[in-house]
Structure 1
């Protein structure tokens, strides 16, 4: 019952795109990066404020970790049109 092309939640994630996933365009990727970086930076600043000014280390650390996770989120998306050219070149030579 194993399939070669599994459909899974978030199929555009990962090093290789499956046939069922579509990926994202370059403009969508840029928008995701900007929004997540600004949101992550805002959470990071709030976390530092909580730790230094309010002396709330637990909530501050949670905000910093959440901010870093949000800032790194779009790096897992695969961009449409950015396939490797090495496979096509290898087929033409052989």
Structure 2
């Protein structure tokens, strides 16, 4: 299950982590974000411990959204060893997300 994290957790769980971490930047008012949420959960559950999955509410964590230049939601960023390696903007089907994540495993 993808956990919603905040600024302090973001540093520990994403920026200071080895391996692959996928972060979904979302907002409660965003329709496409609501469509992506169950897909993101599915990817998180299916990929198990191969990668970590987290969510950031851009309204609650504006500083993180600004740091990573999130201009639209939903946007997913794939991190490898704490460094952003790919941005995925908008809704994507599960198989597309899985193939993008697998490329960095």
> Does TM, normalized by the shorter one, top 0.5?
no
Q: Which has the higher contact order (CA 8 A, sep 6+)?
A: 2
TM-score by length of 2: 0.23
Specify the structure having the higher radius of gyration (Cα): 1
**Higher strand proportion:** 2
> How does the TM-score come out when normalised to structure 1?
0.25
